């Protein structure tokens, strides 16, 4: 089964940690992870400058290592990233500064999210559902 994962909670949230464990479970079950999409505050997981207290894991680095090991496609919403000061190499070069996007994370738009939804058998969303800005999708299949 082809599964995509959408994360909306910050790297410090339980939703980001749960999404990480869920993604590992997908891999161990021999299902296919089609794409992982970091939206809203989850974009901060891709920020190399994001620090965690010494007794907490650096979730962004854990995601990066998992992606490298299993060749996962991890997309950070480009608008969410821009609003949070996250720059990839191209944008950093244009601004005359350094990239702060962790390895194995890539910037992309909502079109890649829509592609993931339509190309996957399941799309699982992790996030703070009580926020008004929660992004939800209803996929309707033609009959």
Residues taking part in catalysis: 77
Closest CA to 9 of 125, 132, 137: 125
Give the phi and the psi of residue 106 in degrees, each rounded to 5: -135, 145
Q: Are 4 and 108 in contact (CB under 8 A)?
A: no
Closest CA to 109 of 124, 93, 88: 88
* H helix or E strand, kind and range, residue 26: helix 14-28
Contacts of 10 (CB under 8 A, 6+ apart): 16, 41, 42, 44
Q: How far is CA 126 from CA 4, 15, 20, 49, 83, in A?
A: 11, 5, 10, 23, 20
């Amino acid at each position: 089964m082809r599964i995509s994962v959408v994360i909306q909670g910050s790297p410090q949230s339980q939703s980001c940690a749960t999404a990480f464990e869920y993604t590992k479970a997908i891999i161990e079950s021999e299902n296919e992870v089609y794409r992982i999409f970091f939206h809203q505050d989850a974009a901060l997981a891709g920020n190399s400058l994001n620090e965690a207290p010494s007794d907490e894991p650096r979730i962004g680095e854990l995601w990066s290592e998992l992606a490298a090991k299993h060749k996962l496609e991890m997309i950070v919403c480009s608008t969410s990233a821009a609003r949070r000061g996250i720059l990839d190499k191209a944008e950093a070069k244009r601004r005359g500064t350094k990239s702060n996007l962790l390895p194995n994370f890539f910037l992309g738009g909502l079109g890649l999210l829509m592609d993931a939804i339509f190309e996957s058998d399941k799309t699982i969303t992790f996030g703070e559902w009580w926020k008004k800005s929660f992004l939800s999708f209803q996929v309707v299949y033609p009959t």
